Amino acid sequence: MNDNTSILLDGASLTRADVVRVARHGATVRLDSGQLAKVRRAADFLAEKVSCGEPIYGVTTGFGSNADKLLGAHRVRDELSGGNPEHHEGSLLEELQHNLIITHAVCVGRPFAPEVVRAMLVIRVNTLMRGHSGIRVSTLESLAELLNRDIIPVIPEKGSVGASGDLAPLSHLAIVLLGGGEAFYQGERMPGAEALVRAGLQPVRLSFKEGLALNNGTTQMLACGVLALDRLQMLMDTADLAAAMTLDAFAGRTRAFAPEVHALRPHPGQVATASRFLELLEGSTLADIAYHLVPRFRPWLADAWSTPEGQAHRFDISWDYVPASQRHGKEAFYSRFLPFKGGKKHQPQDAYCLRCAPQVHGAVRDAWDQACRVFDIELNAVTDNPLVFPDAENAQVIEDQVISAGHFHGMPLALSMSYVKAAIPVLASISERRTAKLVDPANNDGLPAFLIGNEDATDSGFMIVQYTAAALVNDLATRAHPASVYSVPTSANAEDHVSMGANEARHVLEMTEDLGHVLAMELYTAAQALQYRQDMLNAARELAISGDWAALAGKINGAPRQDSPHYPQFEREVRQLMQALAEAGDFHGGTAVREALEKLRGQIAFMQRDRAMDGDVKRICDIVASGVLVA
């Protein structure tokens, strides 16, 4: 992390991109002085009302099911101790806030990654900058310093039900501010108090409502969701690229992506995806190629090629000849295409996993867009409770200025994450179907089985790559059940409906990693297939350019005997095929697809024969995770 950017927080203008810069790239934060004045006004207002003896929820009362209990002037247990009061620092009101944090830090599981905690910190500071939470400026500045000095509280992943906000994880975040808990500092895990000392900070003693301000809100689910949406944006672009590379490898059809087609069903994501496919495939000499030009793979044999250049190929090629007697009723077709069947099936439409990619990828984009809309609102919302309105007009009683509401309830985020959660396995599934089609000789339009020559029957090629993708798709599908539909009441049924949004967002963030792996499997496989397709077509072209009619005719099955009356027609049509191939120019994928292939080939070589693939798989997964292919 080396971003020197300093982001100004004012409670109103934080963006998802800002959160990512802080979380993943080390940007620091500054606090807007104008907003700090509003923060100070709310804190001073609370202090004034407390001094007047006003009953205020969470300030002079207990929390949750204890809300009906008013705090007294002194501790009951001190009276019971026979005049020997225990040693306590601060008032009951301060003890209430302190105890709220230390008793609520009860999460379990492995710690969140530092990027999630940094995202939580910037989000929490920003919402408190709105000036409706009652926190003091000094406490807010200390919270910002945790972030700026890179103190990362240890927050176990599991323990929030998403209402009243993310209480337990936020308590783990806040307890370090008090000198408790644990934190990572300069990469070392240590007690929170020690981290503060090393960073030159002092522990904070909480004042009125500050415990509630620190731990009551949707911060964990918002942080996980923002990071997931950022990663998913890159993966959606990666999925489009993978599909385009696969379509080029199939020498597929692009008419299904035409703008006039999608204008008839203008879902925004679908329209954008179709347009994106056309951009990625621009410059391709494989897409929409004439059927008769595409040869079919045939295993290499020693006598497959007569020239040294041909002998260097890792394949042989072939076509089937369609004699005149089998063209009845198909005259219109054969007036446009030569009577040779190679790798490309004579059909004007591709499989759903290619032809319907705009509809599927686009629907995922629409789910992502909806979640982005919700999260953009939440980033600059106030989500703790109660809300402080020190300057409310026509206020008659304290309840008009300190209002208990429900902004901590995470259901808006939870439901939007449920939508995305269902979309992720869909995007993974269609990618796996393309991978499966690439390796299947019955469906890969003339490519070798499992994309390997296998002339000695010893090679498995890319067979097991599809197994990995299939396993991941199944795992993603089983994790797609929405957490938001299953509320478990808490706090003695005072909090009787909760969102489970923290689980939802955490699941989505985790699932994006496996989605990236599935897409990596497709790209790994599609690169092999595309190179085969290009090389086979270009080998056919080189053979045609050589002018060796007999050699080209030798690649065609079903040729009539030379003494047959049909032989002159066969020879004429083979020469037409030769001319079409010779005039075609170099065969290659779209410009963007070629650039991606070159990047992949810079780290992962074409696989001519079986080799250990674990290193390849790790590299392709790292390449996808880095975003370099779609940067």
> What are the tens digits of pLDDT across the range 597-628?
999 999 999 999 999 999 999 999 999 999 99
How far apart CA 327 and CA 130 sit, in angstroms, is 77
Helix/strand number for the chain, H first, E second: 23, 13
Give the model's confidence band at 54: pLDDT under 50 very low, under 70 low, under 90 confident, else very high.
confident
* Shared domain check, 254 and 108: no
With respect to residue 381, please indicate whether it lies within any of the assigned structural domains: no
Last residue of a domain, one of 172, 196, 217: 217
* Shared domain check, 603 and 478: yes
With respect to residue 378, please indicate whether it lies within any of the assigned structural domains: no
Q: In terms of residue numbers, what domain contains 510?
A: 229-370+420-630
Dihedrals phi, psi of 368, to nearest 5 degrees: -65, -45
Two structure tokens written together for 469: 């993708």
pLDDT in tens, 283-297: 999 999 999 999 999
> Is residue 590 a contact partner of residue 282, using CB atoms and an 8 Å limit?
yes
How far apart CA 380 and CA 35 sit, in angstroms, is 13
How far apart CA 591 and CA 614 sit, in angstroms, is 29
* Shared domain check, 554 and 575: yes
pLDDT in tens, 127-152: 999 999 999 999 999 999 999 999 99
Q: Which of 57, 185, 291, 524 is catalytic?
A: 57
DSSP-derived pairing of the beta strands 28-31 and 6-9:
parallel
* Shared domain check, 249 and 195: no
Give the model's confidence band at 75: pLDDT under 50 very low, under 70 low, under 90 confident, else very high.
low
> Is residue 122 a contact partner of residue 29, using CB atoms and an 8 Å limit?
yes
Last residue of a domain, one of 217, 250, 268: 217
How far apart CA 269 and CA 248 sit, in angstroms, is 22
Dihedrals phi, psi of 456, to nearest 5 degrees: -100, 5
* Residue 199 confidence (pLDDT) above 60: yes
With respect to residue 174, please indicate whether it lies within any of the assigned structural domains: yes
The question of whether 57 is a catalytic residue gets the answer yes
* Shared domain check, 271 and 193: no
* Shared domain check, 336 and 299: yes
* Shared domain check, 251 and 344: yes
* Residue 457 confidence (pLDDT) above 50: yes
Number of domains the chain contains: 2
With respect to residue 204, please indicate whether it lies within any of the assigned structural domains: yes
* Residue 270 confidence (pLDDT) above 60: yes
Give the model's confidence band at 502: pLDDT under 50 very low, under 70 low, under 90 confident, else very high.
very high
With respect to residue 400, please indicate whether it lies within any of the assigned structural domains: no
Least confidently predicted of 64-68, 417-421, 479-483, 516-520: 64-68
Which CATH number is 456's domain given? 1.20.200.10
Query: What pLDDT does 92 receive?
Result: 84
Percentage of the chain modeled with pLDDT above 90: 83
How far apart CA 27 and CA 19 sit, in angstroms, is 9
Q: DSSP label at 165?
A: S
* Residue 65 confidence (pLDDT) above 50: yes
Type of residue at 372: C
> Is residue 169 a contact partner of residue 218, using CB atoms and an 8 Å limit?
no
Question: How large is the angle between the packed helices 591-601 and 614-626, nearest 10 degrees?
Answer: 130
With respect to residue 195, please indicate whether it lies within any of the assigned structural domains: yes
Last residue of a domain, one of 165, 183, 217: 217
Which residue from 118, 106, 93, 126 is spatially nearest to 212, judged by alpha carbons? Answer: 93
